[in-house]
């Protein structure tokens, strides 16, 4: 999990340094020609080859010197030392090239200014990243709750790494002991974390938000963990196995690392965290744009709700999101203000099987609410939920917590994907589907997820919404 984060951050830093290298040349040219020296330069076409060479030198020196090997935005010393080391070596090589090939037309002052500008830009980027990393992680990366199985020294070390990397959105929930009465794991700093018996694994997955389970056990304990692995797979919880007992790593097995420990990862949900982060960034950007563009419509609908019926404009409802996280879902109120108190008497009229409650001609709907439901206008405030990172544009619909309590174990896996406004069920009939088929379509989406599938669903949802198909 940490290695994947570092690969993404390293790629971001490398791309930023390459872009800044090009920008630094433009700044150096401006300072040289407009502010410092009236002596004209040779035409810029003479420098066309040196700009990509210089950018390539900067990035190559950074790669060879290990600048991108371990990204630590919070390390203030490295924010200055990495750019300084890169700039000194790369500038020396650049001057060596100009002298070796006797490139007299290359302005030495311009090259010096370029080196200073690039150094300053790299330092500035790292300082900005240091300040921006915590809020960006909070905005775009959900807190990952980790449960550790085992009380081995490896379990204690994994726990230490999780706690020390809390800034990277990792949180230790506690430990599971395989044999009763073993007590706390052999690591004094973590004695404050709860220790549960292994038999309570399923209950803990239901009662708490658990995103990952790490098995840090000895080789002879694996035979006793088959049921635990199956529970995690059935619930859709990402599972990792510490391979401390393997003398060699099998090259065909996809592994991740946490510190020095190799982890074998099992997951029945999308594993590419880089693409999932891209999904979140696209959701955030699209939600901002839609809120701005649709603000007149939002105001108009809000005014219509206020004028046509008594009660608040918005309806707030607790829902279960990613991994069972509770959040407040926003909708325009489409029912009478006392709709919740009337539900008990309408239960016999429920037209949906399973734990979901739906009535085609719900008497609690207002006239405006019936129109809003048909064209999904009541869902527009959920753009705020998407902006907050609680929902996505595409994903399984967020259920009520009391519905989740009645799920069969295999149905809970749908909670392992960020809930959304639309999904495959919306294309297959929306509220006309039975509950089991609805759940199957959600799991089909999770099993086949890709950015291309998201766009395909979004584009196909547009005519479904505009024509009001399957809504009630």
The pLDDT-based confidence of 38 (bands split at 50, 70, 90) is: low
CA dist., res. 395 & res. 393, Å (int): 7
In this prediction, residue 252 has a pLDDT band, given cuts at 50, 70 and 90, of: very low
Q: Is 249 exposed, middle or buried (0-12, 13-18, 19+ CB in 10 A)?
A: exposed
Distance separating alpha carbons of residues 2 and 166, to the nearest angstrom = 11
Q: pLDDT category, 11, cuts 50, 70, 90? A: confident
pLDDT band at 46 (very low <50, low <70, confident <90, very high): low
Predicted confidence (pLDDT) per residue in 84-116, tens digit: 999 899 888 888 877 776 666 677 787 888 889
41 pLDDT band, cuts 50/70/90, is low
* Cβ atoms of residues 91 and 50 within 8 Å: no
Q: Are residues 231 and 295 in the same domain?
A: no
CA distances from 443 to 28, 120, 232, 323, 363 (A): 55, 49, 15, 14, 32
Is there a single domain that holds both residue 342 and residue 234?
no
Q: Are residues 18 and 116 in the same domain?
A: yes
For residues 93 and 304, the model is more confident at 304
Q: What is the mean pLDDT of the chain?
A: 85
Q: Is residue 472 part of a domain?
A: no
Task: Kindly state whether residue 170 falls inside one of the protein's structural domains.
Answer: yes
Model confidence band, residue 124 (pLDDT cutoffs 50, 70, 90): very high
Q: Is residue 434 part of a domain?
A: yes
Last residue of a domain, one of 247, 268, 289: 268
pLDDT band with cut points at 50, 70 and 90 for residue 181: low
Report if residue 406 sits inside a domain.
yes
CA–chain centroid gap for 113, Å, is 40
pLDDT (0 to 100) of residue 67: 87
Domain assignment present for 384:
yes
Same domain, 16 and 125: yes
Residue 237: pLDDT band (50, 70, 90) is very high
Report the number of distinct structural domains present in the chain.
3
Regarding whether 411 and 303 lie in a shared domain, the answer is: yes
- Residue 296's SS3 state is helix
**Is the residue at 449 inside a domain?**
yes
**261 assigned to some structural domain:** yes
In a domain, 312, yes or no: yes
**Domain's final residue, options 121, 140, 159:** 140
Residue 93 and residue 34 in one domain: yes
- The answer on 401 and 298 residing in a single domain is yes
Angle at 388 (CA atoms; ends 386, 391), nearest 5 degrees:
35
Examine the domain organization and report whether 188 and 84 are in the same domain: no
Q: In this prediction, what percent of the chain has a pLDDT beyond 70?
A: 88
* Domain CATH for 206: 3.40.50.720
Same domain, 34 and 150: no
Res. 250 pLDDT band, cuts 50 70 90: very low
Residue 428, pLDDT above cutoff 50: yes
How far apart, in whole angstroms, are the C-alpha atoms of residue 125 and residue 119?
Answer: 10
CA distances for 280 relative to 275, 309, 348, 418, angstroms: 9, 36, 40, 9
> For 437-457, what is each residue's pLDDT tens digit?
999 999 999 999 999 899 999
| pLDDT value at residue 469 | 67
**Are residue 261 and residue 284 in the same domain, yes or no?**
no
Domain, as residue range, for 421 = 274-467
| Domain final position from 117, 140, 163 | 140
Residue 7 has pLDDT above 90, yes or no: no
pTM of the predicted model as reported, rounded to 2 decimal places:
0.74
> Is residue 120 located within the same domain as residue 171?
no
Q: Do 381 and 314 have their domain in common?
A: yes
Half-sphere exposure of 150 (CA within 13 A, CB side): 25
């Amino acid at each position: 999990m940490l290695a994947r984060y570092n690969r993404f951050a390293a790629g971001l830093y490398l791309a930023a340094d390459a872009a800044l290298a090009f920008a630094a040349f433009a700044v150096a040219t401006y300072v040289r020609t407009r502010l410092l020296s009236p002596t004209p330069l040779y035409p810029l076409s003479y420098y066309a080859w040196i700009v990509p060479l210089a950018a390539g030198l900067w990035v190559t020196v950074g790669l060879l010197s290990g600048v991108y090997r371990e990204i630590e935005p919070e390390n203030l010393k490295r924010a200055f030392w990495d750019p300084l080391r890169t700039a000194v070596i790369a500038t020396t090589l650049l001057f060596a090239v100009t002298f070796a090939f006797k490139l007299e037309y290359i302005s030495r002052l311009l090259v010096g200014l370029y080196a200073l500008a690039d150094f300053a830009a790299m330092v500035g980027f790292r300082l900005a990243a240091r300040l921006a990393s915590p809020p960006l992680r909070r905005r775009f990366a959900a807190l990952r709750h980790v449960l550790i199985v085992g009380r081995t020294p490896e379990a204690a070390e994994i726990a230490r790494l999780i706690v020390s990397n809390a800034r990277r959105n990792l949180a230790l929930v506690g430990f599971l002991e395989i044999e009763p009465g073993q007590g706390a794991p052999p690591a004094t700093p973590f004695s404050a974390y709860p220790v549960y018996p292994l038999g309570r694994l399923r209950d803990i997955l239901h009662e708490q938000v658990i995103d990952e389970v790490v098995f840090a056990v000895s080789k002879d304990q694996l035979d006793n963990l088959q049921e635990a692995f199956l529970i995690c797979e059935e619930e859709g919880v990402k599972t990792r196995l510490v391979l401390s007992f393997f003398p060699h790593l099998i090259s065909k097995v996809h592994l991740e690392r946490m510190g020095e420990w190799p982890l074998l990862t099992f997951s029945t949900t999308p594993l590419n965290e880089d693409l999932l982060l891209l999904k979140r960034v696209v959701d955030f950007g699209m939600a901002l744009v839609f809120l701005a563009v649709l603000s007149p419509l939002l105001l108009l609908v809000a005014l219509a709700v206020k004028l046509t019926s008594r009660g608040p404009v918005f309806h707030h409802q607790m829902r279960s999101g990613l991994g069972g996280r509770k959040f407040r879902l926003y909708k325009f109120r489409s029912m009478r203000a006392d709709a919740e108190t009337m539900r008990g008497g309408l239960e016999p009229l429920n037209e949906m099987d399973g734990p979901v409650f739906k009535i085609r001609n719900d008497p609690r709907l207002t006239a405006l609410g019936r129109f809003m439901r048909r064209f999904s206008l009541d869902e527009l405030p959920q753009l705020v939920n998407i902006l907050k990172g609680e929902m996505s544009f595409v994903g399984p619909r967020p259920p009520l917590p009391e519905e989740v309590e009645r799920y069969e174990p295999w149905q809970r896996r749908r909670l392992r994907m960020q809930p959304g406004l639309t999904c495959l069920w919306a294309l297959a009939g929306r509220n006309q589907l039975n509950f089991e088929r609805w759940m199957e379509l959600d799991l089909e989406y999770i099993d086949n997820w890709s950015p291309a599938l998201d766009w395909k669903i979004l584009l196909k949802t547009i005519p479904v919404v505009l024509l009001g198909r399957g809504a009630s």
